[in-house]
Chains A and B, each alone.
Chain A
Amino acid sequence: MGNALLEIEGLKTQFHLFAGTVKALDGIDLTLKEREILGLVGESGGGKSVAAYSILRLIDPPGEIASGRVLFEGADLLEKSEAEMRRIRGKDISMIFQDPLTALNPLHTIHDQIDEMLRLHTSLGARERLEKILSLLREVGISNPEDRLRAYPHQFSGGMLQRVVIAIALAARPKLIIADEPTTALDVTVQAQILRLMEGVVKNHGAALILITHDLAVVSGLTERVAVMYCGRIVEEGPTDLVIHSPLHPYTKGLLNSIPRMGKKSGRLPQISGMVPNLLELPDGCAFAARCPDASEKCLRAAPPMRPAGPGRKTACHLHAGGEAER
């Protein structure tokens, strides 16, 4: 594996609402190497999408990026001008959205929406661009792309559209692709196809990928490393198979337990008790303490910092304060 492509340090993003300030990202640290595939997992409302938009600086008022650094190839994106950011968006870092039907402009043809990316970020001539569009569409598995160029989004199925979105994301050969719940809006039957396609094209293009999902099952087959988010913080991070087979943080355990498993006969599916706390009134201590089966008095008092916990692993939990912990 190569050098660090993206280093996020102490990133805080807040939303100033009528009722108070929501700390959507409360100081996250994350490192991504070149060509690495990272999973970002957590419940909805945990700040995963905000993290994605913060990297691209697409946070709109009343939201703002309060502090931190986002180093992309060593340069801080938060210090860049808006014009510089525009050249980075799409060109170096591109995004795949959750619902392709709403992510594509309903009034522009497929051709125009891919072409826009090429016109913005490459110096190709019209003919070369057309060639490139056709090869991109073929690459994402759309047969007879010539016949589909003039079509509008509403004429495609959800799975096909997500392929188009992937083609758009790949068009300018980005170094990093952020996929925000790319399969959630799709039929279960096509989810696996899309995931496999994404894995293939990302490797092919030599890009890194951040895969945002609430579904640990999605992460398990695809990513090398995974970071688990809860209430705007990363609570556990490590190699995917280790995290899944021996989770350290009680929240990760809870997430894993609530996945139905084949062959394992169980009665009621266990769930994490309690509710995600109100982000306006986060407790002083560990945000998960109120729902945690193993919470102690200390957990209510002080928030645990991220600490190394084994080879390539980190977690933010008082239970693992002393390095490697019992299972």
Chain B
Amino acid sequence: MWIYLLRRLMQMAAVLMVVSLIVFFVMSFTGDPVLMVVPPNATDLEIEEARRSLGLDKPLWIQYFVFVKNLTQGDMGRSYIFKQPVSKLVTERMPATFEMVGCAVLFALLVAVPAGVYAAARPNSFLSRAIMGGSLFGISLPSFWVGILLIYFFAVELGLLPSSGRGGTRLLFGVPWSFLTWDGLRHLVLPSVTLALGTLAVLLRLIRAQMREVLRQDFVKFARAKGVSSRQLLFSHALKNALIPVVTFFGLQVGNMIAFATVTETIFAWPGMGKLLVDSINASDRPVIVAYLMIVSAIFVGINFIIDVVYTFIDPRIDLR
């Protein structure tokens, strides 16, 4: 067990190492960042001075080692635009993103699981066909466009829900959260729904497919021969078996949602780290981009790890060794 955990941790570190390499070297091809920090009328001398102070005059591989060394100490440099430490910039905006992703995950699960189970249990009913057609539609929608439509209907035409920002927040553990105020909740609705739709559709289809697969198996028939009712059959026997492969996929989907939060946050002007990324890309604020990518990679690797561990708990057939 401990050996397994240790090995997994080392794997995670290795993956992050590779990611840092790729991110660092790819980003270093993106033009001269010195021009970002000096005033437009700077002299050559001033530019050289700035280059030295940023450590950009050294060979690339030394820059990389400095970067990694600082990274291990939690220092990811300063933003060219905000003139602040980027780790602070990103972590400050993290709760907003997590809050939105969390709401979206919840929404997706609450709809996808019952709908997927139903569509598997009654594959030929009208409602099932509607669910499956709707979900296929759902995976065909560009999420940014859905956001725009929602804004147009609910904010512009009907005026029911706000279209941008976080609204009122309240502190919990020293962090501001929107879901603790009514105004904040209203602001959360449209972004979360927009973000959830794609995942909801994919998750629903996967759950249905897994359920169909499980319902064909012998032990389901044996359970029926025992006199188990169809409801118990679905929820006590089939669902748990069907969800095991879904768990892995679910981890990927959460990662995907964090990635797509960049889009949703941009549409709804949601002050999260995804919007920060897009703004920074458009402003060529390299340290912020690098910091975002490193932090988000660490989050993905962490999610994968948690999923692996959860897996071993829900599936008795897997023995950690």
Which A residues form the contact surface with B (CB < 8 A)?
Answer: 53, 56, 58, 86-91, 94-95, 97, 99, 102-108, 116-117, 120-121, 152, 154, 165, 168
Residues A58 and B225 in contact in the complex (CB < 8 Å), given A97-B218, A152-B317:
yes
Contact B221 A154 (CB under 8 A): no
Which residues 219-241 of B have a CB within 8 angstroms of A? 219, 221-229, 237, 240-241
Residues A120 and B228 in contact in the complex (CB < 8 Å), given A102-B218, A104-B219, A107-B315:
yes
User: Whole-angstrom distance between the alpha carbons of A108 and B220 in the complex?
Assistant: 12
Contact A89 B317 (CB under 8 A): no
**Cβ-defined partner of B219 (8 Å) among A88, A91, A102, A154:** A102
Contact B227 A120 (CB under 8 A): yes
B-side contacts of A120, CB under 8 Å = 226-228
Any chain A CB within 8 A of the CB of B140? no
Give the size category of B's interface with A.
20 to 34
A-side contacts of B227, CB under 8 Å = 86-91, 117, 120-121
Which of B219, B229, B240 has the most CB atoms of chain A within a 10 A radius of its CB? B219
Contact A105 B223 (CB under 8 A): yes
Q: What is the CB-to-nearest-CB distance from B232 to chain A, in angstroms, rounded to a whole number?
A: 9
Closest 5 CB pairs of A and B: A90-B227, A102-B218, A89-B227, A90-B226, A95-B225
Nearest chain B residue, comparing its CB with the CB of A152? B316
- 11 pairs from A and B in contact (CB 8 Å cutoff): A53-B221, A87-B227, A94-B226, A95-B225, A97-B218, A97-B221, A106-B219, A107-B244, A116-B223, A120-B228, A152-B317
Residues A56 and B225 in contact in the complex (CB < 8 Å), given A106-B219, A106-B241:
yes
A-side contacts of B316, CB under 8 Å = 106-107, 152, 154
User: Whole-angstrom distance between the alpha carbons of A56 and B226 in the complex?
Assistant: 10
Interface mask (B100-136 → A, CB under 8 Å = 1, otherwise 0): 0000000000000000000000000000000000000
Which residues 237-278 of B have a CB within 8 angstroms of A? 237, 240-241, 244
Contact A97 B241 (CB under 8 A): no
Nearest chain A residue, comparing its CB with the CB of B237? A105
Residues A105 and B241 in contact in the complex (CB < 8 Å), given A152-B317, A154-B316, A154-B317:
yes
Any chain A CB within 8 A of the CB of B217? yes
Which residues 190-234 of B have a CB within 8 angstroms of A? 217-219, 221-229
Nearest chain A residue, comparing its CB with the CB of B220? A105
Contact B222 A107 (CB under 8 A): no
A-side contacts of B223, CB under 8 Å = 105, 116
Nearest chain B residue, comparing its CB with the CB of A151? B316
Which residues 302-321 of B have a CB within 8 angstroms of A? 314-317
Beyond contacts A102-B219, A106-B316: 9 other A-B pairs, Cβ-Cβ < 8 A, are A53-B221, A58-B224, A86-B229, A94-B226, A97-B218, A105-B219, A106-B241, A107-B316, A165-B222
Q: What is the CB-to-nearest-CB distance from A155 to chain B, in angstroms, rounded to a whole number?
A: 8
A-side contacts of B315, CB under 8 Å = 107
Nearest chain A residue, comparing its CB with the CB of B217? A102
